[in-house]
Homo-oligomer: A and B are copies of this chain.
Amino acid sequence: MAQEEVQNEGAKKVAAVTFTAVKPQLTVEAPKAVDAVQFYKSAFGAVEVGRTLHPKRKADQELPHILSAQLELAGSTILVSDIAENYAPVKAEGTGCVLCLETEDVEAAIAMAVNAGGVAEGEITEGDGACCGGRVGKVKDPYGYVWLICSPAKKCADVDA
């Protein structure tokens, strides 16, 4: 993880990217994520380990939109996110399921995926990403699936419930 001074100019094509986690993100129409989280707890025994709310949500809105709730289920992490019409960090176009791939090297991972035939969409964003902060880029694969290439999740707000 230490930053080396040596720049690897060939990194874009030959990078040996290491991924640390795959997290399916299930997007639901806002503000249903809160109900969806409850359902996955009841239905599958999922355990909510963190929740990130929309930081810019207006006070006069009834419910805080869930940017990302992190659920542990069978040794994996599932993310549940509200998708609002006017604010969609992830617009999945026809499929609400997005796969988050965590890696320390977001740029190299995107370059590798694009080199293989994926299409990078948008810029790499920092901050209030759907994957609990960090840097997030997006790649659409040739089969229509959207992959979020994310730096590892930061510690999220603990959940009381």
The answer to whether B42 touches A116 (Cβ under 8 A) is: yes
- Interface flag for A28 (CB, 8 Å): yes
Interface string of A15-37 (1 = CB under 8 A from B): 01101111010101000100110
Count identical subunits in the complex: 2
Q: Contacts of A97 on B, CB cut-off 8 Å?
A: 24, 95, 97, 99, 145
The answer to whether A43 touches B117 (Cβ under 8 A) is: yes
The total of chain A residues at the interface (CB under 8 A) is: 44
Q: Tell me how far the C-beta of A14 lies from the nearest C-beta in chain B, rounded to whole angstroms.
A: 12
CA distance A89 to B37 in the complex (A): 27
The answer to whether B74 touches A113 (Cβ under 8 A) is: no
Q: Which residue in chain B gives the minimum CB-CB distance to A41? A: B116
Q: Which residue in chain B gives the minimum CB-CB distance to A15? A: B45
The answer to whether B19 touches A73 (Cβ under 8 A) is: yes
Q: Contacts of A73 on B, CB cut-off 8 Å?
A: 19, 22, 101
The answer to whether A39 touches B142 (Cβ under 8 A) is: yes
Q: Contacts of A20 on B, CB cut-off 8 Å?
A: 74-75
The answer to whether B44 touches A101 (Cβ under 8 A) is: yes
Q: Tell me how far the C-beta of A22 lies from the nearest C-beta in chain B, rounded to whole angstroms.
A: 4
CA distance A40 to B101 in the complex (A): 12
